[in-house]
Structure 1
Amino acid sequence: MTTQSNPPTRQDFDQYMVPVFAPASFILVKGDGAKLWAQDGKDYIDFAGGIAVNALGHAHPVAVKALIEQGQKLWHIGNGYTNEPVLKLAKQLVDHTFADKVFFANSGAEANEAALKLARKIGLAKGKSNIVAFDNSFHGRTLFTVAAGGQPKYSKDFAPLPGGIIHVPFNDLAAAKAVIDEQTCAVIVEPIQGEGGVLPADAEFLQGLRQLCDDTGALLIFDEVQTGVGRTGALYAYMNTGVVPDILTTAKALGGGFPIGAMLTTDEFASQFAVGDHGTTYGGNPLASAVAGAVFEFINTPEVLSGVKTRSQRIIDRLHAINQTYPIFETVRGQGLLLGAVLKPAYAGKAKDIVTLASEEGVLVLVAGLNVVRFAPSLIISDDEIDEGLNRLARAIARFVANQPNANQAN
């Protein structure tokens, strides 16, 4: 006879896990749609979406079916062989984007690593190696991608970093023009800076970058790890801008919760990689590819993509209404279901306080820096779930305001 061990506790995290995260005090055990449940049975409306990952919410039948069916066939074989799900997924991505070729990885960081390595290889053949990136950007946690990211807090403890990366202010075309030259091999940019504060790029800025890259022979890389696969109401955010990149990276929502990333590019640039130049063990494995293919097909419909826009407006309208009662936000920005509510200067640095209070009220939201509350829910979250989640958020904000010294004077 065996005895059942007690379930893990939050203290087990502190005892057994490397302390690079500071998770919430509760442990989530079940999800269904846009709702989650903790060990104690408390329910939460999920506006965090696993950081823009859970595009179909939790345990969506389409993703579950694909996972179970593939799990009964073939899990992993390594890249000495190919497999049917990865070939189908590659064709889906090529058929519905500018790209001709796809490289699959396990994460957004790995997709960006591949993009930067490809750009460097192409550039070095022409005697150019500099990469231009932007302040407050975020491209991953590998040494190369963290160096390309424009947030020193993520890279300062790991010097010396890869060199040849130049950072300039985001949305400042004049600053970009001053550094993009014949020595530039690539420019990497997020159409919307996610971790940097849910800050959209101006269309004119992206169009200007495209022209500068064309003029100097640099590659334009769009990091769509957070904005891709329907998040903005278009399949990819570049489709809203009139700008076509040379390389695009995608992850997060691509697998709907199953880890997968991809780099997309054209035949012209893909051909500059040769066998052995880059690789991965797990990237493009049958399990991940099967789930991603099912998720991608479900999202890539007029109904889902247009629904993102209507849901976005519902959230924005309600946030504005909440702000009429508790005026703590300076603006709400973003696109589709990647939204950021920016705190007024009087509440600077307190976004995390709101996130904590929100979880106590039963709604999960994110931060994007110290001053922005971020929303990245399921692309198919119901109106009832939106309304209930925002009711809970309003209660959290009421508590937040009540806790502020001289709150009335601050407004």
Structure 2
Amino acid sequence: MTEQVTRATFDEVMVPNYAPSAVIPVRGEGSRVWDTENNEYIDFAGGIAVTALGHSHPKLVDVMRQQAGQIWHLANVMTNEPALRLAKKLTEKTFADRVFFCNSGGEANEAAFKLVRRYAFDHYGEQKHEIIAFNKSFHGRTLFTVSVGGQAKYKEGFEPTPGGISHCDYNNIDQLKALISDRTCAVVMEPIQGEGGIIPADVEFAKQVRELCDEHNALLVFDEVQSGVGRTGTFFAYEQLGVKPDVLTSAKALGNGFPVGAMLATEKAAKSLAFGTHGSTYGGNPMACAIAEAVIDIVDTPEVLEGVEKRRQLFVEGLNAINEKHNLFKEVRGMGLLVGAEVVDAYAGKAALFIKAAAKEGLFILVAGPNVVRFAPSLIIPEEDIKEGLARFEKAVAAVIADNA
């Protein structure tokens, strides 16, 4: 008999690094989720931009069952067919020539940051090791990735962290020009900052970053863990910037919830991760790669990618209508179905209030920092779910405003 567990069980047995809500989801279908009490929710959170094809997508379920009956895991002293097929498709669809598989976005970024330093070491010597990233950026939770990330709170209590890393303001080319030098091995950026507040890169800024990297023989790394695999309406967001990176990281939507990550690189850069320089026990396992291949086969189609912009417009129009009634937002911004609504000063630091209120109304949403309400639903969420979810969100907004009047 399966042992009964509740939210209280978390406090008894889990490390307290999370503070999960009282809701324990047990079943999902499409963009609807049900909890242990059979309460129904509309999912505008997508597991933080992960379930790009919703819950229990029938094709993904079939692929997982089929692969489970064949082979799950192999040591990386061997390769496997799903990994090779997936890598081939990723290189065919992007700037990249080579792929490294791992289990998460943090691991993909760890690999990328090791690669850029190794590349500089191989070509220019150990003095060329400095990495430049951007304030408010987020790249993962390992010591290396929190050091590259531009949010000091994630490093507190874990120092000393890796050095040789500096930060400047996003979309500020003058600050970047002041920092970059011939000691710089890489510039790391998100085409749209996620955790930093849903802030897209200016196209001209991105182009100048590319030019500066070329001028100083530095590699350009795009972190597309959150923005990639259709989230912004193109397969990867960099396609909308007219700029190609040397290295790109992907995860989240790549597996639609099954743990998988990938680092993509040009052949020139990839050569520096030579035999024995890096690895991952589970990276590239057949199960993860089979599912990820099915994900991109579905996502990278005109039907899905063109549908992202249509659904985005429904979100923007709905949020603007809510704002006209409640005067809650300074701005609604983002790319595709990564949408952020920045609250007015009266609610500065209180964006999380809307998460709790929304859950009471049967809706999952997110925040992106203390001032931005974030929406990252399935790319194929039905239009009726968007309309119903926004209606529930308006009820949550009204409840928060009433409680804080």
Give the TM-score normalised by the residue count of structure 2.
0.98
Residue 156 of structure 1: how far off its partner (Å): 1.5
**1:61 is aligned to 2:58:** yes
**1:219 is aligned to 2:219:** yes
**1:13 is aligned to 2:6:** no
Aligned to 2:75: 78
The 3-state SS of whatever aligns with 2:157 is: helix
Aligned to 1:408: none
**1:122 is aligned to 2:119:** yes
The 3-state SS of whatever aligns with 2:187 is: strand
Where do 5+ consecutive residues of structure 1 fail to align? 406-411
> Within 1, Cα distance between the matches of 2:330 and 2:62?
43
Where do 5+ consecutive residues of structure 2 fail to align? none
Deviations 1:317-356 (A, max 9, x none): 0000011111111110101000001001111011110110
Residue 7 of structure 1: how far off its partner (Å): 2.1
Aligned to 2:230: 230
> Within 2, Cα distance between the matches of 1:261 and 1:289?
10
Residue 204 of structure 1: how far off its partner (Å): 1.1
Deviations 1:352-385 (A, max 9, x none): 1011000000000001110100000000000010
Deviations 1:31-76 (A, max 9, x none): 0000000000100000000000001000001111110000000000
Aligned to 1:336: 336
Aligned to 2:205: 205
The 3-state SS of whatever aligns with 1:292 is: helix
AA aligned to 2:377 is P
Residue 393 of structure 1: how far off its partner (Å): 0.4
> Within 1, Cα distance between the matches of 2:36 and 2:326?
32
**1:369 is aligned to 2:369:** yes
In the TM superposition, what are the counterparts of 1:119-158 in structure 2 within 5 Å?
A: 119-125=116-122, 126-127=124-125, 128-158=128-158
> Within 1, Cα distance between the matches of 2:214 and 2:156?
33
Aligned to 1:100: 97
Of 13, 38, 43 in structure 2, the residue corresponding to residue 46 of structure 1 is 43
In structure 2, the CA distance between the partners of 1:167 and 1:360, relative to structure 1 (3 Å rule), is: same
Aligned to 2:382: 382
Aligned to 1:28: 25
Give the TM-score normalised by the residue count of structure 1.
0.97
The 3-state SS of whatever aligns with 1:18 is: coil
The 3-state SS of whatever aligns with 1:220 is: strand
> Within 1, Cα distance between the matches of 2:224 and 2:336?
14
The 3-state SS of whatever aligns with 1:158 is: coil
Aligned to 1:260: 260
Residue 201 of structure 1: how far off its partner (Å): 1.0
AA aligned to 2:82 is P
Deviations 1:287-320 (A, max 9, x none): 0000000011100001100000100011100000
> Within 2, Cα distance between the matches of 1:52 and 1:78?
30
Aligned to 2:401: 401
AA aligned to 1:257 is G
Residue 107 of structure 1: how far off its partner (Å): 0.3
Residue 205 of structure 1: how far off its partner (Å): 1.1
Residue 104 of structure 1: how far off its partner (Å): 0.3
The 3-state SS of whatever aligns with 2:288 is: helix
> Within 2, Cα distance between the matches of 1:68 and 1:164?
46
Aligned to 1:313: 313
In the TM superposition, what are the counterparts of 1:275-294 in structure 2 within 5 Å?
A: 275-294=275-294
AA aligned to 2:15 is V
> Within 2, Cα distance between the matches of 1:157 and 1:190?
26
> Within 1, Cα distance between the matches of 2:364 and 2:298?
25
The 3-state SS of whatever aligns with 2:182 is: coil
